[in-house]
Structure 1
Amino acid sequence: MWIVTDNPSSHNSLSTRTRLEDHPRIHHAFIPVGACWLNLQEGWWRIFRKAALAGRSFANRDDITHATTLATDQLNSRAKPWI
């Protein structure tokens, strides 16, 4: 079995390496640094974070919910159908 992950130090920690050594059927493959930008989802999340959350502070959970809902609605209204 292969597990493909990004390459933060948490995936390279001693505990992770020890666990992988204890389970030889599991292999870990790391994506190259910067490869996450090849995934279109990452670009969408970057735009979403900038539209909904960047530079803002929130007093409570309802404010966060409102900001993310508003940003999602705005992004969806700009989306073109794949036809």
Structure 2
Amino acid sequence: MSSHFSWRVRQWLLRHPRIRQVFIPVKACWLNLAEGWWRLLRRAAFAGQTFADATEITHAVAVATAQLNAHAQPWIWGRPPPQPRTLRRKFVYLL
């Protein structure tokens, strides 16, 4: 933490007013939606692959991004509500 508040860091931040330090609470990195996107991209583009050069990596990222964008859905926080139970408190006896 001292590196965040050191004199050199504060001087650098004063020279670069467009950049602000934003502190994320401990164990709250999941709040950053970019982390989830990187996980999806790694799984779609890089899982089980070996690349010979940077052009193959660029191509794999472009293809994976196009595939992810084709099936994109809005991000919903939390779990969806449970489905209502149709047979709740209904007893069925079969003979």
Q: What's the TM-score bracket when you normalise by the shorter of the two chains?
A: 0.5 to 0.7
Q: Which amino acid aligns with 1:74?
A: Q
- 2:62 alignment partner in structure 1: 69
Identity score, percent:
52
Richer in strand (by share) = 1
Q: Does residue 46 of structure 1 match 2:39?
A: yes
- 1:19 alignment partner in structure 2: 8
Distance 1:55 1:34, change over 3 A: farther
Q: TM-score, normalised by structure 2?
A: 0.52
Deviating 4+ runs (over 6 angstroms): none
Distance 1:67 1:18, change over 3 A: same
Alpha-carbon distance, 1:56 to partner: 2.1
Q: Which has the higher contact order (CA 8 A, sep 6+)?
A: 1
Q: Structure 1: which 5+ residue stretches go unaligned?
A: 1-10
- 2:51 alignment partner in structure 1: 58
Q: Which amino acid aligns with 2:72?
A: A
SS at the partner of 2:47? coil
Cα distance in 2 for residues equivalent to 1:61 and 1:39: 27
SS at the partner of 1:30? coil
- Once the two structures are superposed, what CA deviation does each residue of 1:18-39 show, in whole Å capped at 9, x if it has no partner? 514767x7x9553223322112
Q: Structure 2: which 5+ residue stretches go unaligned?
A: 15-19, 75-95
Q: TM-score, normalised by structure 1?
A: 0.58
Number of residue pairs matched? 69
- Name the larger-Rg structure: 2
SS at the partner of 1:56? coil
